[in-house]
Amino acid sequence: MTSTPTPTSSWFSKGAESRQEQSRDTMGNSKSPLMRRSRWRRSSSKVSGEDILALQDLDPALNSKMHLVNDAIDDIGWTPYHTKLFFLNGFGYAVDSLVLLLQSVIAGPAYREFGNRGYQEGLTVAVYSGMLIGALFWGFGADIVGRRYAFNLSLLICSLSAIIAGGMPSWASLGFFVSLIGFGGGGNLVLDTTVFLEYLPGSKQWVLTMMAAWWGLGQAITGLIAWGFLVPTRWNCASVDTCTMANNMGWRYVMFTSGALVLVLSILRLTIIRLKETPKYLLGAGEDAKVVETLQYLAGKYNRPCSLTLNQLGACGLVTGTHSKNRFSIGETMVHLRGLFATHMIAVSTVMIWLSWAMVGLAYPLFYVFLPSYLEARGAKLDLSQFEIWRNYALTNFSSIFGPLLAGWLCNLSFLGRRYTMLIGGLMTAGFFVGYTQVRTAAQDVGISCAIAFSLNVYYGTLYAYTPEVLPSAHRATGNGIAVACNRIMGILSAVIATVADTSTVVPIYICVGLLAVMGVVAALFPFEPYGRRSS
């Protein structure tokens, strides 16, 4: 256990004194619209004003400043700027799931066109490798130089790579650009949650969980695009012997269409949001003046109260330990890694989160590696046409949209919170996985598939939101990036297992079911519960 830090005297004297003076100034005019709006927000909020990591032995100056910044963000409340972030960060979520599935839907027809030569699971390894490197590169980079650059560039790289990939003449060159798609997407996934969270008022942090519905939307879009281009025979060759680029354009149209869609979204992100650096990153970087400037700008633009001043932040002391002397050095990287293990509870939390990401990254894809042989051996009759295959694929992915919507509601219930919502999602998914082993007909197949997509995203959506919520702000992108990287390493491992393993054995299926149940239990044991608290 860690001891409760003693705040600096300057926090109690100067900081509190300043707040009291502002309170007296405002209370003098009870008819002020800003005062009425602020009172309503405080009375309607379920957040107590406690910061998640406030009781940890961290830098007392940073804790005090973070409390003031969270108060200011709560006073400003939800604005049209947050709505923009919800939609355009959500589009980023959709893009991440879209590009992750692209390689799986085009791999078959592309491999056939290139003569079935090369490593058959090459695109899977390529996209997971790209997302692994991207998560680490953009994660560390966002903590070193800021969120804004990674946020704006990652989606643009993704879109251009997808368009170029559609014109590739060989399996190897296609794999290279698929890895670049993953590189951009991997960074985007880390930054979407981080940027959105660092602008959110505490009473609206549950929206971060609901935002994962965009992930399901991206999967559904992939399914619909594939359904449109991979079914018509004029765009899809039937045999490797007669397959040419001219009669097998379907998979290329999938890439061109997806890349163009992502390009539009990346341009909208640059032109509509015009993201300012997040106040919590600036706080860790010691840029107090820019913190005040950013929050005062938002308050002024949307006619909201914001009493935060530079003097208040300065009275809290000097923030230390969030960066090294040289930003571009091994020492800087080590600062961010050590920050994820700053106290015993933070270290336990970090390890458990990374373990959860690794387990779900292995269990989900590995289950589907062994499932077809298992069902076939037990007499399942799933003879489906190409139309039915891609129709069912679209239906399954459409079902996944609603899991995070349920999760967003559940995690805002005081008796469940984030941890028990993940427990429910993990156990539900494990149960449906067991049910899937009994599938014998096509109707059962699509029904259970939809149920799994729904329940898994209850867990996944909550984990996506929980991870940045409980990580220290100065090291949040690094911790989030490593979590996603753990997931991608397991994805690569599952692709290798698919190539070399004996898929006739049933043991791995039940290991995957067990992993899902364990994931839920691990989530229930996480040391921090964000419900009613604000991210630090």
| Residuewise pLDDT in 10s, the chain (536 residues) | 334 333 333 333 333 333 334 433 433 343 333 333 433 333 333 455 677 877 665 778 888 888 899 999 999 999 999 998 898 888 878 877 887 788 888 988 999 998 888 888 888 889 889 989 999 999 888 888 888 888 888 888 988 999 999 999 999 999 999 999 999 888 877 888 888 899 999 889 899 988 888 888 888 888 888 888 988 888 998 888 888 898 999 999 999 999 998 888 888 888 877 778 889 888 888 889 999 999 999 999 999 999 889 999 888 888 777 777 777 778 888 888 888 998 899 999 999 999 999 998 888 787 766 666 666 666 666 777 878 887 887 888 888 889 999 999 999 999 999 999 999 999 999 999 888 888 888 888 889 889 998 999 999 889 988 999 999 888 898 999 999 999 989 888 887 877 776 666 677 778 888 999 999 999 999 999 998 888 87
pLDDT of 390 reads 78
**φ/ψ of residue 530, rounded to 5:** -75, -15
Angle between the N-to-C axes of helices 250-268 and 147-165, in degrees from 0 to 180, rounded to the nearest 10: 160
What gap in Å lies between CA 229 and CA 456, rounded to an integer? 28
Question: Are 182 and 128 within 8 A, CB to CB?
Answer: yes
Of 62, 287, 281, 194, the C-alpha closest to 477 is 194
Topology alike, domains 55-328 and 330-535: yes
pLDDT of 368 reads 66
The terminus-to-terminus CA distance of the chain in angstroms comes to 19
| Burial of 272 from C-beta contacts in 10 A (0-12 / 13-18 / 19+) | exposed
Q: Which CATH class is domain 55-328?
A: mainly alpha
pLDDT of 36 reads 37
Question: Are 435 and 367 within 8 A, CB to CB?
Answer: no
Question: Are 313 and 292 within 8 A, CB to CB?
Answer: yes
In CATH terms, 330-535 corresponds, of 1.20.1250.20, 3.40.50.1820, 1.10.275.30, 3.40.50.720, to 1.20.1250.20
Domain-wise residue ranges, the chain: 55-328, 330-535
pLDDT of 152 reads 80
